[in-house]
Chain A
């Protein structure tokens, strides 16, 4: 079974802090994604990566950056956390474009 592991289940940070959300997958998947999920808004794509060191902006990249130095790890960085970034963050990976996404358990981030 594919395992997508997000480093924290819950995280509380202060406004202005730099925040790192880590995601690791164990199935040698090419593609990795970061979404945020908010009530009434569904899942919105922040960034995705289809290969090591490659990254593409999603629909809401402002305020975020990503890093993919190794195939199995995709990190989401909040350069200066703000309260409107309080959300559930979901990482996902897939083998290729014909395969479904496998999601991690999510990180619930609260910025105070």
Chain B
């Protein structure tokens, strides 16, 4: 059974600094997704990573996938308050597979 782990569950970040958060999964997975959720809102797709070594960037966020290590990272460059949210990763295997989510990491950016 595929398990997805994110840690830490909460991260306080200082404005302007760089951070990396991690997503580990337990069995072979060939696709990894990152989502963002603001308080009281639904989830919004950030990145879709479909192959080993895939790297995607959007603004201050960069996501990568290492399928051999069963690890995805989300790197934050020069954190700003607008990035405060909960970030989920989800993994799946195959085109019609279920997606298993991690518990999410809540990021809080302080001045």
Stretch at the interface among A11-19, A77-85, A90-98: A90-98
Q: What residues of chain A lie closer than 8 Å to B43, measured between beta carbons?
A: 43, 90, 92, 101, 103
Q: Find out whether the CB atom of B88 lies under 8 angstroms from the CB atom of A42.
A: yes
Total A-B Cβ pairs within 8 A: 60
- Interface residues on chain B, number (Cβ under 8 Å): 25
Closest CB of chain A to B77's CB: distance in Å? 22
CA A59 – CA B101 in complex, angstroms?
11
Q: Pick the contact of B101: A31, A35, A104 (CB < 8 A).
A: A35
| B24 CB, nearest partner CB in chain A, Å | 14
| Chain A interface category by residue count | 20 to 34
Interface centre among A41, A58, A59, A101 (most CB of B within 10 A): A101
Q: Is A97 in contact with B94, judged by CB distance below 8 angstroms?
A: yes
Tell me if B18 is interfacial: C-beta within 8 Å of chain A: no
Q: Which residues of A contact B108 (CB under 8 A)?
A: none
Which of A31, A35, A58, A97 has the most CB atoms of chain B within a 10 A radius of its CB? A97
Question: Given A43-B88, A104-B42, A106-B42, do A99 and B103 touch, yes or no (CB 8 Å)?
Answer: no
B43 to chain A: closest residue by CB: A103
B96 cross-chain contacts in A, Cβ below 8 A: 31, 50, 97
Query: Contact: B98 with A42, CB < 8 Å?
Result: no
In the bound complex, CA of A98 to CA of B49 (Å)? 9
- Contact between chains at A40 and B97 (CB < 8 Å): no
Known: A58-B98, A100-B33. A41 touches B103 (CB 8 A): yes
A28 interface residue (CB < 8 Å to B): no
Contacting pair B92 A97 (CB below 8 A): yes
Q: Give the residues in chain A near B88, CB-CB below 8 Å.
A: 42-43
Give 13 CB contacts A-B under 8 Å.
A41-B103, A42-B101, A43-B43, A44-B101, A45-B101, A56-B98, A92-B43, A97-B92, A97-B97, A98-B48, A101-B43, A103-B42, A105-B41
Binding site for A on B (CB under 8 A): 1, 31, 33, 35, 41-45, 48, 50, 88, 90, 92, 94-104
Cβ-closest 5 pairs across A and B: A97-B95, A100-B45, A42-B103, A50-B96, A43-B101
